[in-house]
Amino acid sequence: MTDAAPTPEPEPAAQSWKVTLPCTRAEAEALDGDIAAFALMDRPPVLMTSEAAPDDEESWRLEAYFEGQPSSAAIKLLRSLVPSAAGVRPQVEQLPDEDWVTLSQQGLEPVTAGRFHVRNLASDPERPGHVNFLIEASRAFGTGQHETTAGCLIMLDRMRRVGMRFGNVADIGTGTGLLAFAALHLWPRTYATASDIDPVAVEISAANAAANGIATGKGQGQIALYTAAGVDHPAIITRAPYDLLIANILAGPLIELAPSLCALVEEGGTIVLAGLLKEQADAVLAAYRAQGMRLAERTDRGDWPTLRLRKRPRIGWKRPTRLDGNARGEAPGFGSL
């Protein structure tokens, strides 16, 4: 008998780096939101601005957190965002093995989107008259700060205000679970399914559900959480068809997943898409129109559109009833935004 092959060592996690540059208050305010050029990167940095001196209102600093050592091109792009620092050498430093996403997100301002108010710190007060969620800074993205997340919250809120009703909802690429939580609040008797390619995100979604009093499970008014690439999970497929499916990821996986996502939506059902840039909207829409979807509504927040699509009814032999068993519904390498 031959000896078993040794178990390969896991690849080390990417080291965290920070780049710091001085900037003016006006430049810092102009960076409020997400930078389109960085969004095209596989691992975009998290940008934070703060006052550099308490007695100088015009003196600010820009800190960019990178997963992995930043390239010269990334640093050059960062410098272009703060022209006042043209003659300043950026401070580039490797960080200790700490949770850099959490560190970079600490102290974020609460976000109000439609009826929802999202706090990132337990010490932040709730906002009266709103649905308050606590999504603390964590290793998963989706705290409500990103324009795409806020855009989805506003879209869901508007759909409820005009009387739309849903009973079976899926959130693909859920991140922190926030959008699934919002859908459960709006339609409390729905069956909710949420998935992410990253098992850490699924763990964090479960913790966030507990922190916000949201039940996990497979019944009405509960959220069922799964780790899956795209919709490649038997439970996600079995729980279909969905009358509402949300996917806030990136344009590439949105296009790649179009056939499998659309196959899981019932006739007349709704898909809400986000995570794409304005210049990517036509390509994404073309992929979904080819699957029998039509654009029902579009809203833009800066460079980030949110799309609401409706599935056209089909008749005869073309009518889909279940996801093709040969279609795995994967988008390897892609996770939540």
Quote the CA–CA distance of 223 and 196 in Å, as a whole number.
Answer: 13
Kindly list the distances between the CA atom of residue 161 and the CA atoms of 129, 154, 156, 166, in Å, as whole numbers in the listed order: 15, 10, 9, 13
H or E element in which residue 103 lies: helix 100-105
Residue ranges of the binding site = 149, 173, 196, 248
Handedness of CA 224, 227, 230, 233 (dihedral sign): negative
Residue ranges of the binding site for S-adenosyl-L-methionine = 149, 173, 196, 248
Quote the CA–CA distance of 292 and 267 in Å, as a whole number.
Answer: 9
Cβ neighbours of 71 (radius 10 Å): 11
Kindly list the distances between the CA atom of residue 27 and the CA atoms of 21, 89, 158, 163, 269, in Å, as whole numbers in the listed order: 11, 17, 33, 42, 43
Measured in whole angstroms, the distance separating CA 124 from the mean position of its chain's CA atoms is 22
Kindly list the distances between the CA atom of residue 8 and the CA atoms of 14, 151, 199, in Å, as whole numbers in the listed order: 18, 42, 20
Kindly list the distances between the CA atom of residue 214 and the CA atoms of 1, 80, 154, 192, 220, in Å, as whole numbers in the listed order: 53, 43, 20, 11, 12
What is the three-class DSSP state of 29? helix
